[in-house]
A = this chain, B = another copy of it.
Amino acid sequence: MSVKTIEWKNDQVVMLDQRLLPHKEIIRVCRNYKEVAAAIRQMIIRGAPAIGVAAAMGVALGALQSKTKDFDREFEQIVLTLAKTRPTAVNLFWALERMRKVYSENRDRGVDAVKRLLKIEAQKIYKEDIAANKEMGKYGAELLADAKHVMTHCNAGALATAGYGTALGVLRALKESGKKFDVFVNETRPFLQGARLTAWELKKEKIATTLITDSMAGYLMQIGRVDAIVVGCDRVAANGDVANKIGTYTIAVLARRHGIPFYVAGPTSSIDLNCPTGEDIPIEQRNPKEVSHMFGKALAPKGISIFNPAFDVTSQELISAIITEKGIIRPPYQQNIASHVSH
């Protein structure tokens, strides 16, 4: 399957509009960095690694188009605009930091050289992400080798990355290794990334998939229908706490009760050693309408208060292992994450 989540094409950033999937496959062309920022904010593109790639391409695009005499000031403005789009996934800030490093290390070579190098760096981040996903896939497929029934939450697929996926990359690799298994997909309210995106990806991949509401996950575990759980992540704290899509924590608590292994897959760019614990990870609050409306129509009474946190934090003690492109991290996470990253 080739899902083109995002591409650099003719010096523009081209992305699949994920808000319209699975019904319509519409390509959006971002003509400048502000359009890239808007696309991230509006969730035309979403998923921590994909947001990182988009931000990097946004910086490259903004720099390339800069015509001002004060390039340095505009560069700061571009980075700032992209940094403000979404707060939780650390891959965004990681990618901006990489772009900023290319800028500052090469600034003395002149603006044209910097522009060229930023464009190269964005493409490099893109390619590295796909390669990292494939590595994660191999490691994860070994961990899940005996699982017949796998559950996943949200979308950590090709659509959440430059391609292949983190959690779904593991499932792709598992299938490529010849294993037979099926997948329960939590619909993932309110944005329905599971129903709309993961179900769409797995169907294209011809992996047996059953869609459930988030509230059914506990029942499935209770009746013995889940052997393993694999999800992506938006930020891993230094102690192993993981921020991921709202509802992930609940799945992890249920998994613990039922003795089901709970795996997190993400590139090392999702690890934030500057966050000591999950409590230090900012949790994005999104528009209440994501909860109260569907297809523009109200689901709930008018004027009702709504709480819409987009992420939650899963305590490290609930996580069986973290899969990165460098291998498998096991508890105790505090020390093993530090040594894993420095390797």
Contact = CB atoms under 8 A, between A and B. Distances in A.
Interface in A151-196: 184, 186-190, 192, 195-196
A181 to B, nearest CB: 14
A186 to B, nearest CB: 8
Interface in A211-232: 211-220, 222
B213 A189 contact: yes
A299 B213 CA distance: 12
Nearest to A306: B211
Given A188-B215, A215-B189, A300 B246 contact: no
**Main secondary structure on A side of the interface with B:** mixed
Contacts of A200: 300-301
A186 B299 CA distance: 13
A218 B312 contact: yes
Copies of this chain? 2
B305 A209 contact: yes
A22 interface: yes
A332 interface: no
Interface size on A, as a range, is: 35 or more
Contacts of A102: none
Given A294-B294, A298-B23, A304-B199, A216 B254 contact: no
Given A189-B187, A222-B249, A298-B23, A304 B203 contact: yes
Contacts of A254: 250, 253
Contacts of A305: 208-211
A67 interface: no
A257 interface: yes
A305 B212 CA distance: 9
A309 interface: yes
Contacts of A299: 187, 192, 195-196, 294
12 contacts: A187-B189, A189-B213, A192-B299, A195-B292, A203-B303, A211-B291, A211-B304, A211-B305, A212-B308, A213-B291, A216-B309, A294-B295
